[in-house]
Amino acid sequence: MQLNQPTITSGNGVRPTHVEVNLDHLCANLKAIKEKTSPAKVMIVIKANAYGHGMDAVARHLAPHTDYIGVAVLEEGILLREMGIRTPILVLGGIWEEQIPDFIKHDLTLTASSVERLQQIDRAAESLRKKAIVHLKIDTGMERIGVHYYSAHTLQEAALGCKHVDVEGIYSHFANSDADDLSHAHLQLARFNEVLSFYEKHSLPTPPLKHMANSGAILQLPEATFDMVRPGILLYGVYPSDEVKRTVSVTPALSWSSKVVYFKVTKPDHPVSYGSTWQSDENVRVVTVPVGYGDGYFRAMSNKAQVIIRGVKVSQVGRICMDQMVVNLGADGTGYNGDEVILIGKQADQQITAEDLARWADTIPYEILTNINTRVPRIYIP
């Protein structure tokens, strides 16, 4: 199975526009998360091409240091198994009945988000003569997949009657754990605890893996740690929101750079790029950078984004095209063909972060990272 496009290389090496992923930073971020949440287990969330960092390399590097892997869809789980990853893998998203046998054959843990789905899993496991490993999904306030907290007992009771299912876990997901106001998160947590009290009330053992904490909760809600935490964005060294308390220190693992491909001087009354949205009022030096929205550098950032060239932050001008964009060096700025251009990352004492791009694109860093197209080669720094 192939989920990613092959990396594009040119005759003499990798495309000058590329992403570098620092594997040491990933490991250090994981270690910092573990220090904060120990003795809980850690499920690394590596869905969506490991938040753009490259799922196969991230999985190979981190699998030996993690207890569980979380992905969104069946295909991501199968890909990891075909790579030889033997770590337990939970598919977090919703599933269809016809997919169930593939889960069981590949030893992937299923999310049971309704009584009907749980019973379908039980029947499929029986006919395959295997036990299906299942985590029950409780909706405590996200209103996405999962059985509502107020009817969770129907799922918990149904699980007791499923003889071919091993209920290894029970979990829920926060809608607002990265907010300044944690009242909704506390409400969700109280609802989840109430759901868990079912086991004590009926003198039943609780499933061994109770889990709820995404990055926001790891940072702000230690009482939501339970048996396992599920960090995504924090693992990659990015904080989930501006207002979240930074109680774990992490370093961005991804940087994104390119090279100047063209230099020219542009005069007043000579607007730049499609739609002629920007022009200079004096002669200025501009450079073309071979990156565009086809690489995941959002067009919405046009006339707002900045890049670093020769250690100086300079402004992108005119509309960002599919494959190219123009940067204004100013009347006296320096920069020329072949210069390195930092889109995300550090140069000299300057830094541009995924959060900066998110602000310019009016989105969140998650969307910036997961949209860096597979046309952009990933290089891994050990």
The distance of closest approach from Cβ of residue 52 to ligand PLP in the complex, given in angstroms and rounded to an integer, is 12
233 binds ligand PLP (CB under 6 A): yes
State the virtual CA torsion across 121, 127, 130, 133 in degrees, nearest 10: 0
Sorted by sequence, the CB contacts under 8 Å of residue 16 that are 6+ apart come out as 258, 259, 261, 290
* Mutual angle of helices 183-201 and 152-160, in 10-degree steps: 30
- Residue 46 is classified by DSSP as -
- Please tell me which residue in 41, 47, 210, 259 is annotated as part of the active site: 47
User: Are residues 236 and 26 in contact, defined by beta-carbon separation less than 8 angstroms?
Assistant: yes
Could you tell me which stretch among 8-16, 208-216, 309-317, 355-363 binds ligand PLP (CB under 6 A)? 208-216
Nearest position to ligand PLP, beta carbon: 232
> Nearer to ligand PLP by C-beta: 177 or 328?
177
> Nearer to ligand PLP by C-beta: 237 or 377?
237
135 binds ligand PLP (CB under 6 A): no
The overall longest dimension of the chain from CA atoms, in Å, is: 80
The distance of closest approach from Cβ of residue 212 to ligand PLP in the complex, given in angstroms and rounded to an integer, is 9
> Nearer to ligand PLP by C-beta: 146 or 335?
146
Element of type H or E holding 170: strand 165-171
The distance of closest approach from Cβ of residue 141 to ligand PLP in the complex, given in angstroms and rounded to an integer, is 13
66 binds ligand PLP (CB under 6 A): no
Residue span 86-105 as binding mask against ligand PLP, x where in contact by CB under 6 A, dash where not: ------x-------------
240 binds ligand PLP (CB under 6 A): yes
232 binds ligand PLP (CB under 6 A): yes
The phi, psi pair for 245, rounded to 5°, reads: -75, 130
Could you tell me which stretch among 96-104, 200-208, 231-239, 371-379 binds ligand PLP (CB under 6 A)? 231-239
53 binds ligand PLP (CB under 6 A): no
Element of type H or E holding 89: strand 89-91
346 labelled catalytic: no
52 binds ligand PLP (CB under 6 A): no
Q: Whole-angstrom Cα distance, residue 357 to residue 380?
A: 22
> Nearer to ligand PLP by C-beta: 173 or 285?
173
224 binds ligand PLP (CB under 6 A): no
User: Are residues 191 and 141 in contact, defined by beta-carbon separation less than 8 angstroms?
Assistant: yes
Structure tokens at 230: 């599920």
**Residues 146-175, interacting with ligand PLP (CB under 6 A):** 173
User: Are residues 184 and 175 in contact, defined by beta-carbon separation less than 8 angstroms?
Assistant: yes
29 binds ligand PLP (CB under 6 A): no
Q: Whole-angstrom Cα distance, residue 228 to residue 92?
A: 14
Contact with ligand PLP (CB under 6 A) among 36, 230, 259, 319: 230
Contact with ligand PLP (CB under 6 A) among 113, 214, 220, 328: 214
> Look-up: residue for tokens 């204004």?
328
51 labelled catalytic: no
Parallel, antiparallel or unpaired: strands 228-229 and 41-45: parallel
Q: Tell which residue, 55, 47, 62, 354, has the closest CA to residue 214.
A: 47
Residues that bind ligand PLP (CB under 6 A): 45, 92, 173, 214-216, 230-234, 240
